[in-house]
Amino acid sequence: MLSLIIHAVLGFVTIGIFFAVNAHLYRRDWQGSGVTFLELVYYVLAGVSVGAGWFFNVRYVFGYPQDYSWWHFTSMLFANPAAGSVGQDMIITNVLLFPLWTIVDGPRRGLRHCWLYVVISLFTSFSCAMALYLAAQERQVRYARALAAQATDARP
């Protein structure tokens, strides 16, 4: 049970860091700073994924009180061929592809501290981290557009 509490605290901390690092995107002082429908969908999916993940993680911890650990959890991803198929896909995506994508593509788009999404995925869920990345990317596109429009308006 203590591990669930620690995991939850670290999840909240990493999401708090996400908003702190991206504070410039969440200020209301630029044109288009409101939440778009697409961005809202990303936040809702992030929340749903964390809720669903917690439902199953709590059941796992209470279902295997003597055995639960990262090693045991990961080995259970391969309990049968169907689970193994999904398990290997999620491991390769979360451990290799997602870090490469966010750390390489994020700075190209102007996002800051993109390693943070990998850390978020460890304490919330891969889906939550991906949804937050996409939401930040959506905001960053609008933010860059607003800055370019301000620069154009400011020219004599």
pLDDT of 118 over the 80 cut: yes
pLDDT of 142 over the 90 cut: yes
CB-based burial label for 54 (10 Å; 0-12, 13-18, 19+): middle
Residue-wise pLDDT for 81-90, tens only, equals: 999 999 999 9
Q: What is the dihedral of CA 108, 45, 36, 16, to 10 degrees?
A: -70
| Domain residue limits, the chain | 2-23+36-142
Task: Give the model's confidence band at 156: pLDDT under 50 very low, under 70 low, under 90 confident, else very high.
Answer: low
* CB-CB contact of 73 with 92 (8 Å): no
* CB-CB contact of 127 with 150 (8 Å): no
Q: Against a cut of 0.85, is the pTM above it?
A: yes
pLDDT of 77 over the 80 cut: yes
Residue-wise pLDDT for 7-46, tens only, equals: 999 999 999 999 999 999 999 998 889 999 999 999 999 9
What pLDDT is stored for residue 154 in this prediction? 67
Burial 25-50 (b: 16+ CB within 10 A, else e): beeeebeeeeeeeebeebeebbeebb
What is the mean predicted confidence (pLDDT) over 113-142?
Answer: 95
